[in-house]
Chain A
Amino acid sequence: MLKEFFNNQLTLGCAQAAVAALLALAVMLLARQRKIHLERETIVALIRGIVQITAVGSILVLLLRGPAWTGIFLLAAMIGAAARISADRAKGLPHSFHVSLYAIAAGAGSVIALMSWVGVIDMRITSLIPIGSMLIANAMNTNSLVLNRFRSEVESHTGLIETGLALGADAKQTVAPYVQSSVQAGLIPAIDSLRSLGIVWIPGLMAGMLLSGASPIYAAIYQFVTISMIFSSSGLTSLICSLMIRSSVFSPAEQLALRPGVTAAGIRHNS
């Protein structure tokens, strides 16, 4: 229907974006009816999303004409931004930015480097950036889920953790069960993506390859390759994240730094 009103590709794109955003706002209002307040976060995310993707699109036009090594800087910038966004999901968790940065850089970065070196990812910037960004974005999501879940687990098991500490347990051991459940929860989307590949989900990359004339079988196989790489980078990210967060919630003297019983004024309710 929109195509009847908009002949120019740019104006058509703007109209399509507006309709998609309106649908998202409608969902937000529906959630509001059920007293689930997502207004601010949804509106900020929508505006931020359109600005960011348009800016990146404009930069990509320039970069795609440049040498391959410029892609490394773009990927590094993406990792930095992903770490910032992920850390924001874990407010109150000590050192969350550094944990996220190292985990995403090591998790997604190592998979991108290894797969590019082997030749699974084409080193051309037109291939490196989209696939690299997919790996980084998924690593970011996993990292956010692990951090968020870990914070909730620690906050709801403060009593047990401090009981372990008070009995002389190693600090890392007192949070080990919560690290394990956080990693498992964080990896659910990546595992489900692998399980549902082709049945529930035909991702954009495959659709893009088909549209650009690639063999459907090769497009399908490469989609499996991509999802497997996403699983590997997400898995590595979550493992590194879990290794780092288990000590980040403790002080050097093995005191729990994350306790919900402390009010903003720093006074414990039961003192």
Chain B
Amino acid sequence: MLLTPTTAILETDHLSREVAGVRIVDNVTVTVPTGRVLVVVGPSGAGKSSFLRLLNRLDEPTSGAVWFEGHDYRQIPPRELRRRVGMVTQTAYLFPGTLADNLRFGPLQHGIELPARTIDALLTEVGLEGRSREDVAHLSGGEAQRVSLARALANEPAVLLLDEPTSSLDAEAKDEIEKLILGVVRRKQFTCVMVSHDLSQAARVADQIMVMNKGRVTKIGAVSEVINAEGVLQ
């Protein structure tokens, strides 16, 4: 089940997580090559988000290993690992305050005061130029998700985990955010692992698709190998 290109930034090796006797992630071995987008699809309850949470160690694997930049990630301090493996969640949880406060948060945890010009550049990147002093309480769902993406980027991660970042948005905002994410990912050559319910979205965004069901990987490969011309799983 290994992906084809050679330079791997993130690898999992028989990764499993068991909670209360149930294997919610079961024996997943996958390699995510540098600069590629792996989209994880599958029905509700398949273990997609649970798998993603293991990659930045928000949850602890029961067995197996995760290798980040060639190191067993348990050897890396969790806070440093999470800075390097950024995450954008389905709901944009923003801290009370301004957009700038939210963008400063991550770097501040590591003693870095983000300069105003970097904040402006990040906000421009996500289409919110000139709004750094605005209170997050006044943002729409789509705008909040843009801030969430910019905040993750402020940490300069090497890998970006996206947990259904458009599923809680309306159709218009969903399209905008998807284009924005795709643009940022392609422009910056980000390595990305994205969870999606939407097969057509997966086909648009992915270099590789991994199908999960009941915690296990049932199929993995290039888009054309996993989804047929009608947009249905093969």
Which residues of A are at the interface with B, using a C-beta cutoff of 8 A?
159-160, 162-170, 173, 251, 253-256, 262, 264-268, 270-271
Structural contact, A169 and B105, CB atoms closer than 8 A: yes
Q: Which residues of B contact A169 (CB under 8 A)?
A: 79, 105-106, 109
Structural contact, A167 and B106, CB atoms closer than 8 A: yes
CB-contact partner of A168 in B45, B59, B74, B82, under 8 A: B82
Mark each residue of chain B from 92 to 103: 1 if its CB lies under 8 Å from any CB of chain A, else 0: 010100000000
Closest chain A residue to B163 by CB distance?
Answer: A270
A159-B93, A168-B106, A170-B109 known; A268+B49 contact, CB < 8 A: yes
Q: Which residues of B contact A262 (CB under 8 A)?
A: 19
Q: Which residues of A contact B86 (CB under 8 A)?
A: 166-167
Of B50-58, B173-181, B202-210, the one contacting chain A is B50-58
Structural contact, B155 and A165, CB atoms closer than 8 A: no
Q: Which 7 A-B pairs have the closest CB atoms?
A: A266-B19, A266-B20, A168-B83, A167-B106, A159-B93, A166-B87, A163-B93
CB distance from A258 to the nearest CB of B (A): 13
CB distance from A155 to the nearest CB of B (A): 14
CB distance from A265 to the nearest CB of B (A): 5
A266-B22, A267-B45 known; A167+B83 contact, CB < 8 A: yes
CB-contact partner of B57 in A160, A163, A255, A264, under 8 A: A255
Structural contact, A167 and B93, CB atoms closer than 8 A: no
In Å, the complex CA distance between A167 and B74 comes to: 17
Q: Which residues of A contact B110 (CB under 8 A)?
A: 168
Q: B47 interface residue, CB < 8 Å from A?
A: yes
In Å, the complex CA distance between A213 and B110 comes to: 65
Mark each residue of chain B from 32 to 49: 1 if its CB lies under 8 Å from any CB of chain A, else 0: 000000000000111111
Structural contact, A168 and B49, CB atoms closer than 8 A: no
Q: Which residues of A contact B80 (CB under 8 A)?
A: 168
Which residues of B are at the interface with A, using a C-beta cutoff of 8 A?
18-22, 24, 44-50, 56-60, 74, 78-80, 82-83, 86-87, 89-91, 93, 95, 105-106, 109-110, 151-152, 155, 164
A interface SS class: loop
Closest chain A residue to B46 by CB distance?
Answer: A271
Q: Which residues of A contact B152 (CB under 8 A)?
A: 167
Structural contact, B47 and A271, CB atoms closer than 8 A: yes
Q: Which residues of B contact A254 (CB under 8 A)?
A: 78-79
In Å, the complex CA distance between A165 and B82 comes to: 7
Closest chain A residue to B57 by CB distance?
Answer: A253
CB-defined A-B contacts under 8 Å, sample of 7: A160-B93, A166-B56, A167-B155, A168-B109, A254-B78, A265-B19, A268-B24
CB-contact partner of A267 in B22, B60, B74, B87, under 8 A: B22
Q: Which residues of A contact B20 (CB under 8 A)?
A: 264-266
CB distance from B223 to the nearest CB of A (A): 23
A167-B105, A167-B152, A266-B24 known; A271+B82 contact, CB < 8 A: no
Q: Which residues of B contact A255 (CB under 8 A)?
A: 57-60, 78
Structural contact, A271 and B50, CB atoms closer than 8 A: yes
CB distance from B46 to the nearest CB of A (A): 7
Structural contact, A265 and B82, CB atoms closer than 8 A: no
CB distance from A141 to the nearest CB of B (A): 31
Q: Which residues of B contact A162 (CB under 8 A)?
A: 58, 89, 93
Q: Which residues of A contact B50 (CB under 8 A)?
A: 268, 271
CB distance from B94 to the nearest CB of A (A): 8
Q: Which residues of B contact A265 (CB under 8 A)?
A: 19-20, 22
CB distance from A262 to the nearest CB of B (A): 7
Structural contact, B90 and A270, CB atoms closer than 8 A: yes
Q: Which residues of A contact B58 (CB under 8 A)?
A: 162, 165-166, 255-256
Structural contact, B155 and A168, CB atoms closer than 8 A: yes
CB-contact partner of A251 in B22, B60, B105, under 8 A: B60
Structural contact, B49 and A270, CB atoms closer than 8 A: yes
Structural contact, B79 and A168, CB atoms closer than 8 A: yes
CB-contact partner of B109 in A167, A266, A270, A271, under 8 A: A167
In Å, the complex CA distance between A192 and B190 comes to: 56
Q: Which residues of A contact B106 (CB under 8 A)?
A: 167-169
Structural contact, B79 and A166, CB atoms closer than 8 A: no
Structural contact, B22 and A159, CB atoms closer than 8 A: no
In Å, the complex CA distance between A168 and B45 comes to: 27
Q: Which residues of B contact A271 (CB under 8 A)?
A: 24, 44-50
A165-B82, A167-B155 known; A253+B60 contact, CB < 8 A: yes
Closest chain B residue to A263 by CB distance?
Answer: B20
In Å, the complex CA distance between A254 and B60 comes to: 10
Q: Which residues of A contact B21 (CB under 8 A)?
A: 266
Structural contact, A159 and B89, CB atoms closer than 8 A: yes
Q: Which residues of B contact A270 (CB under 8 A)?
A: 49, 90, 164
